[in-house]
Amino acid sequence: MIAGSAISLFSDFAGVESGLFPVAQVGKWLPVFVTPLWVLSIGLLLGALVTAVVHGVLSALSFVPGLGNLADDPKRGVTLSLVAGAIFSAVLCYFYVPQGGENGQLLYLPLVTLGMILGFGLIYGMWHRTRSEWMSILGEGVIPYILSTLGLFAVIGLGSTPFVENPMAILESVPAVNLVGDGTVVEVATIAPSADPDIPEFLPAEITYNFRNVAELRIESDKRVFLADSDKAEAFSRAPIELNPGSTEAVTYKYEDREQPPIPGDPSKLHIYNQEIDPARVVFTFKNLPQIPQASSIVFSAIAFFLTLTGFMALRQAAPRVWALALSTAKNEMAQPLYLLLLAIGIFAVLLFGIFPFNTLGDDIRLLKDSGVTMIMVLGMLLAVWSAGTSVSDEIDGRTALTVLSKPVSRRSFILGKYTGIMLAVLVLFVILAAVLLVVMSYKPIYDARETSQQQPPWQVGHEEIITTLPILGLYFMETMAIGGIAVALATRLPLLANFITCFAIYVVGNLLSPLVASARENTELVGFVGKLIAVVVPNLNSFNVQAAVDAGNAIPLIYLAAAFNYLVVFVVAIWMVAMLLFEDRDLA
């Protein structure tokens, strides 16, 4: 069955090239397939342009006397970066923490992290050395692999522009994306009564709005008024809308209902007649959203690209010793045959899952998502544990670490550099396999519809599957970082095989920790104590596991990502301290 599906899929594409497959049929599913990829590609292109412009401006500022030399003194550079990061963090927290509602406190640490990236990026982006080393930054370590993968993905997406469904409408929706708030805008019009009570006088509302982006509208008034699209009765295109005072009498409108708007699209045509003798206060509450909501992914993809590249630059310039160790470790691990083997297994598995008939009566996409992200995470963990054994244990046993530490490199920098390098290698693996998975996810709804003879879905379905997959990949990468931290800490004392067994045991127990603690509450005090003790010693990896949400088809809220990030930071700091305790008195001679 799998072979038949693969042959069918191959014959479709082969038929296109040979002219045997009907062009009209290709025109039906190809735009649905490529439009989600095109949207993300536009986001990557926008991110590259923003990065080039911002860092181009910072490079120009490096010529200003004093600014370009701020980071010449490492202590001064770090101090100023922390100050700038604190300012950025305060601004971000001011705007975004209130949006988290009762869980807004969970956003503090992620926002402070982003602020620090911007702070270090600002100070070290203006450094004269950064200006002259940008080509080296882009061409060393893991950055070329990540940029090449994203570049190939963008080329595929942008190359499909002729087949994209309504690309201009998507691009026109980008400016309406709300970076702060939910798009709610309140406009108030104060309307004077008519000079002659017997003659209705429609006065201009004098408010501004762009109805192209209005998703919801609510109009309230404290007086009885009439809304019209002209100041003269003979020019009305429809009868004026009556609005009485009181919240229950408010006029509401939703774009999704496809009803006629209560006000004209041109704000200059909106006129209001106040029937009472006192001035009327008419409140318009607009909720502005992009007409095509999927355009939001363009903006957020661009922001993610900018922050990632800025973070790499800041780490390289602010911590050169850690970066040098990380760079050496990542290059060494990526040159191993195991790395290529894991990469090949991952690509083959993801492609296989795309055509595998799960026979779930309509839930094949969810199983593809679950199987794909789990496979990527397992391969990443194998690489992390293996790399910890080869780059830490073997170097300590082979006395290579002694040679490294004989240079001006502290044991703290050695452990931090090794961990960073291992996770950079894992990040490249995640990025490559995730790119393949996203392409498969974009085509999977079309493939399933054709296999089951159902109506072809719109391109928004594939886009939604892609967007809901990205947070899951982020959570599983966090889980891999947690296991990688444990592996590096244990590698300071244990050989590779013992490290593998211990990490596997911790992974199993960590994912069973939540139900274990919950069940321990209903048993004896001794059982409860043991369960709580395990919860203190073993990380709760179940915090990163969202398989239940994937199976139910629920999206992962951003506030949950923030909570998982908080837990990861606390755990990684704790395990790094344990690693330092284990490594501090280790005899390397």
| Structure tokens belonging to residue 388 | 């910890």
Whether residue 1 is predicted with pLDDT greater than 50 in this model: the reply is no
pLDDT top residue among 415 and 145: 145
Instruction: List, in sequence order, every beta strand (DSSP E) within 260-386.
Output: 271-274, 280-288
Query: Among residues 291, 205, 297, which one has the least CA distance to residue 256?
Result: 291
Q: What is the pLDDT of residues 219-259, one digit of tens each?
A: 999 999 999 999 888 888 888 999 998 777 789 998 877 78
State pTM to two decimals. Answer: 0.86
135 contact partners, CB below 8 Å, separation of at least 6: none
Q: What CA–CA distance (Å, rounded) separates 333 from 338?
A: 9
DSSP 218: E
What is residue 99's predicted lDDT score, i.e. its pLDDT? 85
Does the pLDDT at position 28 exceed 80?
Answer: no
Report helix, strand or coil for 535. helix
CA R_g for the chain: 29
- pLDDT of residue 10 exceeding 60, the answer is no
- Note the pLDDT of residue 518: 62
Cα distance between residue 579 and residue 422, in whole Å: 15
- For the cut 70, the answer to whether the pLDDT of residue 306 exceeds it is yes
Share of the chain above pLDDT 70, in %: 86
Confidence band (pLDDT; 50, 70, 90) for 189? very high
Which residue is associated with the tokens 């085509």?
Answer: 443
pLDDT value at residue 20: 39
Residue 220: which of 242, 203, 245 has the closest Cα?
A: 245
Average pLDDT, the chain: 85
Q: What pLDDT shows up at residue 545? A: 82
Q: Is the pLDDT of residue 12 over 80?
A: no
- Let me know: does 308 contact 147? Beta carbons within 8 Å: no
Alpha-helix residue ranges (DSSP H) falling in 126-173: 128-138, 143-159, 167-173
Q: Answer yes or no: is pLDDT of 527 > 70.
A: no
Q: What per-residue confidence (pLDDT) applies to 6?
A: 44
What is the reported pLDDT for 19? 43
Tell me the pLDDT tens digit for each residue of 372-431: 999 999 999 999 999 988 887 766 666 665 566 556 667 788 888 889 999 999 999 999
Per the CB < 8 A criterion, the answer to whether 412 and 580 are in contact is yes
The CA–CA distances, whole Å, from 422 to 153, 374, 381, 488 equal: 24, 19, 10, 9
Does pLDDT of 11 surpass 50? no
Residues 313 and 422: their CA atoms lie apart, in Å, by 18
Regarding predicted confidence, which is higher, 309 or 456?
309
Tens digits of residue pLDDT in 377-389: 999 999 999 998 8
Contact 84, 41 (CB under 8 A): no
Banded model confidence at residue 121, pLDDT cuts 50, 70, 90? very high
Distance, CA of 363 to CA of 448 (rounded, Å): 10
What average pLDDT score do residues 203-207 get?
Answer: 91
pLDDT at 23 over 90: no
What's the pLDDT at 22?
Answer: 45
Distance in angstroms (rounded) separating the CA atoms of residues 398 and 389: 12
**With contact defined as beta carbons under 8 Å apart, do 477 and 427 qualify?**
yes
| Residue 522: per-residue pLDDT | 59
Higher pLDDT, 195 or 564: 564
Distance between alpha carbon 354 and the CA centroid of its chain, in Å? 23
Give the rounded percent of residues in the chain with a pLDDT score beyond 90. Answer: 40
Give the integer Cα–Cα distance in Å for 559 and 568: 14
How far is 368 from 351, CA to CA, in rounded Å?
Answer: 10
Cβ-based burial of 15 (10 A; exposed 0-12, middle 13-18, buried ≥19): middle
pLDDT at 435 over 50: yes
CB 217 within 8 A of CB 286: yes
Q: Which residue has the higher pLDDT, 85 or 443?
A: 85
pLDDT in tens, 436-465: 999 999 888 888 777 777 788 888 888 888
Widest distance between CA atoms in the chain? 103
Q: What is the pLDDT of residue 493?
A: 85
